[in-house]
Structure 1
Amino acid sequence: MGTTNIEVVIAVLFGSLILALIGVFMFVMVIFYQKRKIKTIREQQRLIAQYEQAVLKAKVEIREETLKYVGQELHDNVGQVLSLIKLYLSRPGTQPKTDVKQLIDQAITDIRLLSHDLNINRVEQYSLSDFIEQELNKVHKAGLVKTSFENTGFCEPSNIQNRLMISRIFQECINNILKHAEAKHIFVKLVAENDGCILSIADDGVGFETDSTFTGAGLINIYDRVNLIRGNIKIDSSSNGGGTHIQLRIPQD
């Protein structure tokens, strides 16, 4: 009997110990799960805040680009037309009234177009393809570089914030070409696919060594924004004059 009682006590103690260990293990697992959940929530909040900050920065940059373009157009085009009108009016009888009227009509048209471009929210109002076409028209109008645009299928991110980010990525790529590539032609393609779209930007400029340029602020901004929209970008270039080809894969949102 004594031996049996001892065995029962040992079994009870052993069972209690096992239950206690299981309880401690479950408690530790709950604490670990809660900490991991809190860490995940904080990481999600950090990514959301980073994304919202990037969207705001892109919006400000697009606004600055637009104002810069409008200021240049006012100075180079509208300003010259108004100066000619002033010159004609200061010399009555030297020019037919029809010439002055045509200049006034031209000034009105240019101002109306600038007013259209001054709409900062045009990224939200127009499709991605329309925005790309308008930006390329600006470059072509400047007469420095020829442009071509091929649009295949329907590629339109439904998320306005993603569209804004993609538009800014496109602007930065074009600005880099204009500043550094010494290109004569820019080729742009927007192609729809089953799992998203591909935006290709190529030029026939001098190119660059990608390994030594990836640390530049412009490319860092591009890569950061591509990651935020969960896209993928590939840049092929070399300094031997073969130009540069950029391929941005835009996922479905």
Structure 2
Amino acid sequence: MTGTAQSMETSGNEIVIAILFGSLMLALIGVFMFVMVIFYQRRKIRHIREQQQLMAQYERSVLKAKVEIREETLKYVGQELHDNVGQVLSLIKLYLSRPQLQQKTDVTLLIDQAIRDIRSLAHTLNINRVDRYTLRDFIAQELAKVQKAGTMKISFAHEGFCEPADSQRRLMIIRIFQECINNILKHAEANQIFVKLATENGSCILSIADDGLGFDPEHGYRGTGLVNLHDRAKLIGGDIRIASSPGLGTSITLRIPQE
């Protein structure tokens, strides 16, 4: 009887221990799950905040790009008014004050030219042309402005249909392109600019190269505003590669998923 009682007592103790161990394991599992839920919630909140910050940064960058495009447009219009329309109007004034210099037909032609130039400038002032034209046509128009100055030769090639559906992304691409061209005009001392717009494996590729002075990317990186190019490319899910060497010109390639 004593042996049986001891055996029952031992079995009871084992059951208690098993229950306690099971309860402890359940408690540990519960704590682990609670910690994981807290960790997941914090990670989710952090991700949402990062997305909100990225969206806010994108919106600020788009707004800045719009302002910069307007500033570039006004600068171009000011130069055109001074160099072209202003000169034509001065000639008209001269002919009208001294009619013996030229025939009436010459004055009429000059007036027609001034009207065409003013219409062209009015067209340029419209920021909505970013939405009205394809990316290819807009780039061609911007390059035509550079070509018109007569200081550089322009080469523009295009393959396939490269056109982001989102107008905001198109605007950012245009601003990146304008920044590249401005850098060439300001720093490169180039004779030629080569631009290519093409599609490849579902991506839109814009390459801009020149035969100018070039630079060392490690030392000239910040001075030429290239950091801004990388930031803007990143905001639209793109990738930008810059290759340059002193005396060998510069090549910039922008790759953007075409969605």
TM, length-normalised to structure 1? 0.96
* Paired residue type of 1:44: Q
1:248 corresponds to = 254
* Paired residue type of 1:107: A
Q: Does residue 196 of structure 1 match 2:196?
A: no
Distance in 1, matches of 2:27 and 2:180, equals 63
1:224 corresponds to = 231
Distance in 2, matches of 1:175 and 1:94, equals 42
**Cα distance per residue 1:78-106 (max 9 Å; x no partner):** 01111111111112333211111001000
Q: For 1:84-233, what aligned pairs fall within 5 Å after superposition?
A: 84-216=91-223, 218-233=225-240
Q: Does residue 42 of structure 1 match 2:49?
A: yes
Distance in 2, matches of 1:200 and 1:217, equals 17
Q: Secondary structure at the match of 2:212?
A: coil
Aligned equivalent of 1:19, options 15, 20, 26: 26
Which stretches in structure 2 are left out of the alignment for 5+ residues?
Answer: 1-7
Native 8 Å contact 2:183 2:224 kept in 1: no
Distance in 2, matches of 1:125 and 1:51, equals 22
For the pair shown, which has the larger CA radius of gyration, 1 or 2? 2
What is the alpha-carbon root mean square deviation over aligned residues?
1.2
Distance in 2, matches of 1:169 and 1:31, equals 42
Task: State, as a whole percentage, how many aligned pairs show the same letter.
Answer: 72
Distance in 1, matches of 2:118 and 2:13, equals 101
Count of aligned positions: 252
Q: Secondary structure at the match of 1:71?
A: helix
Report which stretch shifted further, 89-98 or 225-234: 89-98
Distance in 1, matches of 2:66 and 2:58, equals 12
1:217 Cα deviation after fit = 5.9
1:31 corresponds to = 38
Distance in 2, matches of 1:85 and 1:215, equals 48
1:250 Cα deviation after fit = 1.9
Which stretches in structure 1 are left out of the alignment for 5+ residues?
Answer: none
TM, length-normalised to structure 2? 0.94
1:3 Cα deviation after fit = 2.4
* Paired residue type of 1:251: P
1:195 Cα deviation after fit = 2.0
Native 8 Å contact 2:162 2:258 kept in 1: no
2:3 corresponds to = none
Distance in 2, matches of 1:207 and 1:180, equals 9
* Paired residue type of 2:201: N
